[in-house]
Structure 1
Amino acid sequence: MSTTTTEYQVTGMSCGHCESAVREEVSAIPGVTGIDVSAATGRLTVTAEQPIDDAAVIAAVDEAGYEAARS
């Protein structure tokens, strides 16, 4: 089975709690198998079993209280 990796730029994160909030929301998206998020760089990398809808990731990040855009 192949996986896909997509990167996003997230604005507004400043600490580990921010990272946890984003990780929790994005992990709820069906098919997501891995998440790497860094408040220091503002980067979110999502690994999934199949291509994930960008709108779903952006909506999940918005739900966590931040803004995201595909890199």
Structure 2
Amino acid sequence: MNQLVLSVPTISCGHCVKAIAESVGEVPGVGSVAVDFTAKTVLVTGAADPAAVREAIADAGYEVAR
């Protein structure tokens, strides 16, 4: 199972965590999603396309750091 860790510096509250987790959780191939408010990271496990995960985060209104 693959792991993808993304930095999302615009995470600022519990609502952000929930919105990102729900959006990323809908991406095909995602096994699990862990959003860390303090570290401002998103950990995704599974076989999801990284580009699709980034797009899901953007669709939720957040920007992934490059």
> Normalized against structure 1, the TM-score is what?
0.84
RMSD between aligned alpha carbons?
A: 1.3
Rg larger in structure: 1
Deviation at 1:38, TM superposition (A): 1.3
- How many residue pairs align between the two structures? 66
2: distance between equivalents of 1:5 and 1:69? 17
Identity between Structure 1 and Structure 2 (%): 39
Q: 2:33 aligns with which of 7, 26, 35?
A: 35
Following TM superposition, where does structure 1 have runs of at least 4 consecutive aligned residues deviating by more than 4 angstroms? none
> Normalized against structure 2, the TM-score is what?
0.89
**Is structure 2 residue 54 aligned with structure 1 residue 55?**
no
User: Which structure shows the bigger proportion of residues in strand conformation?
Assistant: 1
